[in-house]
Amino acid sequence: MKTSARNQFPGKVLSVEKGAVGAVVKMRTDGPCTITAFITKEAVEDLKLKKGDDVSAIVKSTEVMIAKGD
């Protein structure tokens, strides 16, 4: 796979939690760092994502959000 995106992080899927519409996918990068992504349930099924899969997170800067809890 070749993309124009520069912010690509290879790693492994830690967990996939499917909901009614979407899914939360957690992955550990080679960094090590944990990335959590919300993607459609259809994307999970099309990619056949499961724990332990080798994946890459591709981050668009317009989609990055930071939150701080109390």
The pLDDT of residue 64: 65
The pLDDT of residue 22: 94
Q: What is the number of domains present in the chain?
A: 1
Does residue 13 lie in a domain region? Answer: yes
pLDDT of 7 strictly over 90:
no
Tabulate helix, strand, coil % of the chain (nearest 5): 15, 45, 40
The reply to whether omega before 32 is within 30° of 0 (cis) is yes
pLDDT in tens, 37-66: 999 999 999 999 999 999 988 887 776 666
Does residue 69 lie in a domain region? Answer: no
What Rg value do the Cα atoms of the chain yield, rounded?
A: 12
Q: Which domain holds residue 40?
A: 8-56
Does residue 64 lie in a domain region? Answer: no
Q: Residue 70's pLDDT band (boundaries 50, 70, 90)?
A: low
Residue 68 token pair:
């701080």
Find the largest Cα–Cα distance for the chain.
40
Residue 65: alpha-carbon gap to chain centroid = 14
pLDDT in tens, 18-40: 999 999 999 999 888 999 999 99
- CATH code: domain of residue 25: 2.40.50.100
